[in-house]
Amino acid sequence: MHKRYLALEITHWVFSDLALTLPCEFSYDPQDPLAVAVVFNTDGESPVRWFFSRELLADGLATRSGEGEVVLWPVYDDDGEPATFCVRVGSAHKALFEIPADPVAEWLAETYTLVPRGTELDGVDWDELVLLAE
C-alpha cells in the first residue's frame, strides 16, 4: 500500500488581523494507520511537522475536536457548509492555521480506501507486543 499526500496552500493566522499564506502537506502512511502527519511551511528553512490521529482530523472537519496540543474545528460558509477548518497546535506558544475543507475531506476519504475506519489495528500481533513488553 502506498502513502497518500496532499499539498496545498493554507492560512497561518499570526494575529487576528495578520494572515500569511504558506504551503502545507498532509501525509498518510498505511504502515502507521492511526496517524496523519501535517507539515507546515514545507518550503521554509524550518518546516514544522505535527502528527495526530486520523480520527481527530475526520472529527475536526465536522465539529470542534481535540484538546491540549491539537484542537480542530470547522468554519462554515453562508450556506452552512464547512468551507475551511482551523487547526490550533501547541501549548505555551499556540499557532492557528485555516485550511480548505474540501481537498482535505477528499484526501481523507482516499485514506479510508487504503485502511477502512475501524480496521486500523486488524493486522496487529498482540501476542508479539505482549512479549516485547515483558
pLDDT tens-digit readout, 54-88? 999 999 999 999 988 899 999 999 998 889 999 99
Residues counted in the chain:
134
Phi and psi (nearest 5°) for 131? Answer: -65, -40
Q: Which residue has the higher pLDDT, 25 or 48?
A: 25
Residue 97 pLDDT greater than 70, yes or no: yes
Give the right CATH number for 4-133 from 1.10.1370.40, 2.30.31.20, 3.30.70.1450, 3.20.20.70: 2.30.31.20
Residue 13 pLDDT greater than 70, yes or no: yes
Confidence of residue 12 (pLDDT cuts 50, 70, 90): very high
Task: Tell me if the pTM is above 0.95.
Answer: no
Strand partners, 84: 75, 100
